[in-house]
């Protein structure tokens, strides 16, 4: 009974501290709020059966990131995911995410990041959204720091081109942005 209470308290603290981060990362990798919910739930249930002794909060956070990435990969490879087409393509309101992040998820930048290949999307998310340095991303993704730098460079280049093309599509014949509330 006491072990169960300790485990529950541990999971609650981890969810309070890193629940939003795990969800954002899962959403970034799965591109589906429904799948992100499932992944986040699986990630926070995993410590109940895992013998890992966490040295500190940073160790737990890194472990949660690694488990989230691995769970997203497992979901992508699952037979169910390969055989089932989503019937609900509309994204539901992201009620469990704070307002600034909801604005980000609705922005052109988030959409452009979501169009990146999965490996580029992952390093962009960890670097720009979660604030990890290149060396830490390399450790979390189990690749060389030079590979992470290359992926970040390629992602920035691709994002720049994508956002420039999108801006060109949105401008009128004189290069002006469309009217918003009667103003340019």
d(CA 88, CA 94): 15
**Could you read off the pLDDT of 8-17 as tens digits, one per residue?**
888 888 899 9
Give the end of a domain, one of 48, 81, 114: 81
Q: Please give the pLDDT value at position 94.
A: 46
Which pTM was predicted? Answer: 0.68
Q: In the predicted model, is pLDDT for residue 167 greater than 60?
A: yes
Same domain for 135 and 73: no
- Residue 180's beta-bridge partner residues? 183
Residue 161 lies in a domain: yes
Range of the domain at 9: 1-81
Q: Please give the pLDDT value at position 102.
A: 63
Same domain for 101 and 77: no
Q: Which residue has the higher pLDDT, 153 or 57?
A: 153
Same domain for 77 and 138: no
Q: Which residue has the higher pLDDT, 94 or 26?
A: 26
Comparing CA positions, the residue from 126, 8, 125, 115 lying closest to residue 62 is 126
The CATH number linked to 16 is 1.10.1740
Same domain for 102 and 58: no
Given pLDDT bands bounded at 50, 70 and 90, which one contains residue 89? very low
d(CA 122, CA 31): 12
The CATH number linked to 138 is 1.10.10.10
Residue 181 lies in a domain: no
Same domain for 74 and 2: yes
Q: Please give the pLDDT value at position 175.
A: 63
Task: Specify the number of domains making up the chain.
Answer: 2
Same domain for 159 and 130: yes
Same domain for 72 and 128: no
Give the end of a domain, one of 47, 81, 115: 81
Residue 105 lies in a domain: yes
Residue 12 lies in a domain: yes
Residue 178 lies in a domain: no
Residue 87 lies in a domain: no
Give the end of a domain, one of 55, 81, 107: 81
CB < 8 Å & 24+ apart, contacts of 59-67:
60/14, 60/18, 61/17, 61/18, 61/21, 62/136, 62/139, 62/140, 64/14, 64/18, 64/21, 64/22, 65/21, 65/22, 65/25, 65/126, 65/130, 65/140, 66/140, 67/43
Q: In the predicted model, is pLDDT for residue 145 greater than 80?
A: yes
Residue 88 lies in a domain: no
Same domain for 108 and 42: no
d(CA 108, CA 61): 29
**Could you read off the pLDDT of 124-143 as tens digits, one per residue?**
999 988 899 999 999 999 99
Residue 125 lies in a domain: yes
């Amino acid at each position: 009974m006491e072990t169960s209470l300790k485990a529950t308290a541990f999971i609650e603290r981890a969810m309070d501290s890193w629940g939003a981060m795990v969800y954002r990362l899962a959403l970034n990798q799965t591109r589906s709020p429904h799948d992100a919910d499932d992944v986040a739930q699986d990630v926070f249930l995993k410590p109940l059966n895992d013998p890992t002794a966490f040295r500190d909060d940073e160790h737990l956070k890194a472990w949660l990131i690694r488990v989230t990435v691995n769970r997203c990969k497992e979901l992508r490879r699952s037979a169910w995911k390969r055989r089932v087409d989503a019937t609900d393509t509309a994204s539901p309101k992201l009620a469990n995410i704070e307002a600034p992040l909801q604005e980000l998820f609705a922005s052109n930048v988030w959409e452009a990041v979501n169009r990146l290949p999965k490996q580029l999307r992952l390093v962009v998310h960890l670097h720009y959204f979660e604030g990890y340095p290149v060396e830490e991303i390399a450790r979390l993704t189990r690749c060389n720091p030079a590979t992470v730098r290359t992926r970040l460079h390629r992602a920035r280049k691709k994002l720049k081109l994508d956002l420039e093309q999108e801006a060109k599509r949105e401008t009128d014949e004189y290069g002006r942005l469309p009217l918003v509330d009667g103003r340019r």
